[in-house]
């Protein structure tokens, strides 16, 4: 009977030891996984970012003075800075710092880039967009008219509108005698040049200069294309559009001031 009690005590001790070992292994495993997860969370990758005080206009060359290195969390980079294809391969959508030489002095801003934003590949283009691109496929002649649209044409004139252009001017009409009247007056000696000049009447005349003229573009104070600025704006996302409207630099660029 005493031998049986001793065996039970040994079994309990062995089970208790196994439980302690298993608990310790679980705790160690949890600690290791927590450390790995924490390390992954803190892991960063260096990407290209515009300097906080630098904005880049559409079609402008990206230079080394425009950018700086920025450490982005790798998890955030994987979520927002990569694109996965159907074959399982991935491609970076954000320009990494190690790839900056592929951009600097070689690519142009596809649209207005705000200060302090990371640089995406699709926000750059390899070839500089032609300024006032409509000039390269238009037909007819180009007429540049200086006007204030809100005063001359109501609320707004936009590219695509069709107008008739008229010239309005003042002219003075004189009631001059006919050739017969002139000869009769000459014979009678009653010609009065002063009298005829006093008979002049000023009238306003209007003549059609151009019929169905198509508005191609409007230029701001700096001569920049409103057409290009508008398409730069609508090409941006809703968030980017809101940020552009709150950016004094962009608004000054639009106004041409």
141 plus 102 within the same structural domain: no
Same domain, 62 and 92: yes
Tell whether 166 and 127 lie within a shared domain.
no
Domain range holding 56? 44-131+225-255
Percentage of residues in the chain with pLDDT exceeding 70? Answer: 75
Please indicate, yes or no, if residue 14 is contained in any of the structural domains.
no
161 and 116 belong to one structural domain: no
Q: Say yes or no to pLDDT of 227 above 80.
A: no
Position 152 in a domain: yes
76 and 113 housed in the same domain: yes
> Are 66 and 111 within one domain?
yes
Q: What share of the chain in percent tops pLDDT 90?
A: 12
Q: What is the per-residue pLDDT for 196?
A: 46
The pTM score is: 0.46
Residue-wise over 120-156: b if at least 16 C-beta within 10 A, else e?
bbebbeeeeeeebeeeeeeeeeeeeeeeeeeeeeeee
Average pLDDT, the chain: 76
CA distance from start to end of the chain: 104
| CATH, residue 234 | 3.90.1210.10
Q: What is the pLDDT of residues 130-179, one digit of tens each?
A: 666 666 666 777 777 776 655 555 556 777 788 888 888 888 877 776 77
123 plus 65 within the same structural domain: yes
Give phi and psi for 39, each to the nearest 5.
-65, -40
Would residue 168 count as lying in a domain?
Answer: yes
Do residues 96 and 82 both lie within one domain?
A: yes
- What per-residue confidence (pLDDT) applies to 162? 83
Q: Look at residue 4 and tell me if it is in a domain.
A: no
Residues 99 and 162 in one domain: no
Are residues 120 and 106 part of one domain? yes
Q: What is the pLDDT of residue 2?
A: 47
What pLDDT score does 95 carry?
92
Q: How confident is the model over 100-121, as pLDDT tens digits?
A: 999 999 999 887 888 888 999 9
Same domain, residue pair 183 and 231? no
Residue 50 has pLDDT above 90, yes or no: yes
For the cut 50, the answer to whether the pLDDT of residue 19 exceeds it is yes
Residue 186 has, within 13 A of its CA and on its CB side, a CA count of 7
Q: What is the count of structural domains for the chain?
A: 2
Provide the pairing of β-strand 201-214 with 108-109: unpaired
Taking alpha carbons only, the member of 172, 178, 173, 176 closest to residue 193 is: 176
The reported pLDDT for the residue numbered 189 is 57
Q: In the structure, what pLDDT confidence band is assigned to residue 229 with cuts at 50, 70 and 90?
A: confident
Helices (H), the chain: 2-42, 74-80, 149-152, 179-188, 193-197, 226-234, 238-245, 248-255
């Amino acid at each position: 009977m005493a031998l049986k009690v001793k065996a039970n005590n040994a079994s309990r001790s062995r089970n208790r030891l196994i439980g302690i070992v298993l608990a310790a292994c679980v705790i160690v495993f949890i600690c290791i996984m927590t450390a790995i997860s924490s390390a992954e969370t803190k892991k960063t990758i260096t990407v290209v970012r515009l300097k906080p005080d630098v904005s880049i206009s559409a079609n402008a060359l990206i230079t080394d003075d425009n950018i700086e290195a920025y450490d982005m969390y790798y998890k955030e980079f994987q979520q927002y800075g990569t694109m996965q294809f159907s074959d399982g391969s991935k491609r970076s959508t954000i320009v990494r710092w190690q790839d900056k030489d592929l951009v600097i002095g070689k690519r142009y801003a596809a649209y207005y880039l705000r200060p302090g934003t990371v640089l995406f590949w699709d926000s750059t283009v390899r070839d500089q967009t032609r300024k006032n691109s409509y000039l390269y496929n238009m037909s007819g002649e180009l007429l540049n008219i200086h006007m204030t649209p809100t005063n001359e044409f109501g609320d707004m004139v936009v590219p695509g509108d069709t107008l008739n252009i008229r010239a309005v001017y003042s002219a003075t009409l004189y009631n001059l005698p006919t050739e017969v009247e002139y000869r009769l007056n000459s014979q009678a000696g009653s010609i009065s040049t002063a009298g005829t000049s006093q008979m002049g009447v000023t009238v306003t005349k209007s003549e059609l200069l151009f019929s169905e003229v198509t508005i191609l573009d409007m230029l701001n104070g700096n001569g920049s294309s409103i057409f290009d600025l508008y398409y730069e704006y609508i090409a941006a996302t809703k968030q980017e559009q809101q940020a552009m409207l709150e950016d004094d630099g962009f608004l000054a660029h639009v106004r041409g001031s």
